[in-house]
Amino acid sequence: MSKSIKIGTRDSELALWQANTVKALLEEKGFAAELVLIKSEGDLDLTTPLYAMGVQGVFTRSLDIALLNGRIDIAVHSMKDVPTQLPKGIAQAAILKRASHTDILVYNGDPSFLNDFAGTALIATSSIRRKAQWLHRYPHHSIENLRGNVNTRLRKVAESNWNGAVFAAAGLERIHLRPKNSIDLDWMLPAPAQGAIMVVCGEADTYCREALGQLNDRATEIATKVERDFLKELMGGCSTPISGLATVVNNCIQFKGSILSLDGKEKAEIEISSDTGDFEILGAKAAAAIIANGGKSIAESIKNAGK
């Protein structure tokens, strides 16, 4: 007998878009589904920088608890927010086809300041990864903290004296909020799994696992596993400036990864390619290579800074 699958989601516009996308995909496959709204700590606290909240999975924990308690059957997450180690009892059930992985700058006024690498500017982001990469490229710029959902952050940028703020392209494009005064930051390496959506359910829930398996995009699953394995091996999370991007072309995976010091002054990077048959070991292999080529001291300095 079929049941209506309860989809847990945060109530931001972007989270609802993601949940409704999963709902529509399930209904296309003949499964009944409904949304259940859950508040997260990350939504309730709009002032503390993400890296100061002292927890991985700040945007996923409330949904995980609701899932384990049986309030919902599945949860929909921006994959880059999901800790590399899922809670016991919860399983990855589907990765949707990836949207843009790119970071963008929403700027105020004239963006020509980006061509002056010795100049000063004020840039907003709460992401340690974006901050480190930005300061590596623009060492004389200052970084302001920026929190809130995408609507709130866009409003804050418009009302500020900032030169600009960094956003994920996918988040703004999905809900048709990308402004004209924005440019792609092609030089900025994204967070692992940026632009991808993960759907999870209970490990023992064969009904939901079977239903969601029909929504899985294999190429995105492979690419994001490599990226997240790289992150996991380098002890990464929201509070570490670790970036990674894997692209799958035919039977080949190309991976680029980096780790920076918190102030952006030190950087180690890796570029590696392999056959798709090696995707389960490629992320760890890339992490080992970057540790051996300058990444070890950077990783240790980040670890010590958090003590």
- Between β-strands 5-9 and 33-37, what pairing exists: parallel, antiparallel or unpaired? parallel
How far apart CA 303 and CA 307 sit, in angstroms, is 7
Q: What are the residues facing 103 on neighbouring strands?
A: 168
**In sequence order, what E strands does the chain have?**
5-9, 33-37, 74-78, 90-95, 103-107, 122-124, 142-144, 164-168, 182-184, 197-202, 242-249, 252-260, 267-275
Q: d(Cα 102, Cα 189) in Å, to the nearest integer? A: 8
Task: Indicate if 263 belongs to the active site.
Answer: no
Q: What is the DSSP letter of 292?
A: I
What is each CA distance from 12 to 64, 72, 256, in whole angstroms?
A: 17, 18, 31
Give the SS3 label for residue 91.
strand
Q: How far is CA 299 from the centre of its chain?
A: 20
Select from 229, 297, 278 the least CA-distant residue to 257: 229
Which residue in 81, 103, 205, 229 is the catalytic one?
Answer: 81
DSSP string, 140-174: T-EEE---S-HHHHHHHHHHS--SEEEEEHHHHHH
Q: What is the spatial distance between Cα 75 and Cα 7, in angstroms, rounded to a whole number?
A: 6
Residues marked active site are found at 81
